[in-house]
């Protein structure tokens, strides 16, 4: 399979430079990645570089800890869309989750769904599965999945544990069929990437994207 078409080529470190963004965009075009996922201040630059291509622009909201006020997340999302983002990866309020305050989480997610979908954008909801109990992952799927989200995403990559096959299996089992899955965090080689896809992931968030594609048996490029 062409694994590149399932990858969000990601650079989210706090010291990211314009030169690194330009390289990330260039690699996304060369290898045919689905999207680049860049810090909010670089969305406009990435959108300009990638305008002639089919590569999508993704960025993060409430990142990486999720405890920003809902109003702040809405404002971040609106600005990202204005700057040219096609896809929003939003971290849910993990404090609310740990307290089982699903009413708060449902309101937060519903607002972000409305903002994104009114502008024809994609919303990915990050639950940080690596630090959750299995029953919390299941509850996120059952309570947030039906709200119209486009993807549920495993991880930010900043917690002590990222994506796992077990978490992807749980999400696949308990999410509505309409919700896709993005596995992210700790996916650094082709074998791990393909295992995530086989477990049910539709998209992968990776900073080691070039190494993953280069490790594919056929090493086929899908550039534009």
Q: From CA 72, how far away is CA 75, in angstroms rounded?
A: 5
CA angle 109, 187, 162 (to 5 degrees): 50
Q: Is 153 a known active-site residue? A: yes
Q: In sequence order, which residues have a C-beta less than 8 Å from that of residue 150 and are 6 or more positions away?
A: 116, 122, 123, 124, 179, 180
Residue 80 has φ and ψ, to the nearest 5°, of -60, -40
The answer to whether the bond into 64 is cis (omega within 30° of 0) is yes
Annotation marks residue 101 as catalytic: no
Which one of the listed residues 56, 73, 124, 153 is annotated catalytic? Answer: 153
What H or E segment, with its residue span, contains residue 7? strand 7-10
8 has catalytic annotation = no
Which of 56, 73, 124, 182 is the catalytic position? 182
Ramachandran region of residue 185, left (φ > 0), alpha (ψ -120 to 50) or beta? left
Choose the catalytic residue: 8, 73, 83, 89.
89
Residues with a catalytic annotation lie at 89, 153, 182
């Amino acid at each position: 399979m062409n694994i590149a078409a399932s990858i969000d080529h990601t650079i989210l470190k706090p010291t990211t430079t314009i030169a690194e963004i330009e390289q990330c965009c260039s690699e996304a075009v060369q290898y045919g990645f689905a999207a680049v996922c860049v810090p909010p201040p670089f969305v406009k630059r990435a959108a300009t570089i990638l305008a002639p291509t089919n590569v999508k622009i993704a960025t993060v909201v409430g990142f990486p800890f999720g405890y920003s006020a809902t109003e702040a997340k809405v404002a971040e999302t609106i600005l990202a869309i204005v700057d040219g983002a096609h896809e929003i990866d939003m971290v849910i309020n993990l404090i609310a989750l740990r307290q089982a305050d699903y009413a708060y989480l449902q309101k937060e997610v519903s607002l972000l769904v409305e903002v994104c979908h009114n502008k024809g954008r994609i919303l990915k909801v990050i639950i940080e599965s690596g630090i959750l109990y299995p029953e919390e992952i299941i509850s996120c799927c059952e309570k947030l999945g039906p709200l119209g989200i486009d993807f549920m995403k495993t991880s930010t990559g900043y917690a002590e544990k990222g994506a796992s096959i077990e978490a992807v299996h749980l999400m696949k089992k308990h999410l509505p069929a309409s919700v896709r899955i993005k596995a992210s965090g700790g996916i650094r080689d082709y074998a791990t990437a393909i295992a995530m896809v086989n477990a049910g992931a539709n998209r992968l968030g990776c900073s080691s994207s070039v190494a993953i594609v280069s490790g594919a048996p056929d090493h086929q490029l899908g550039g534009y």
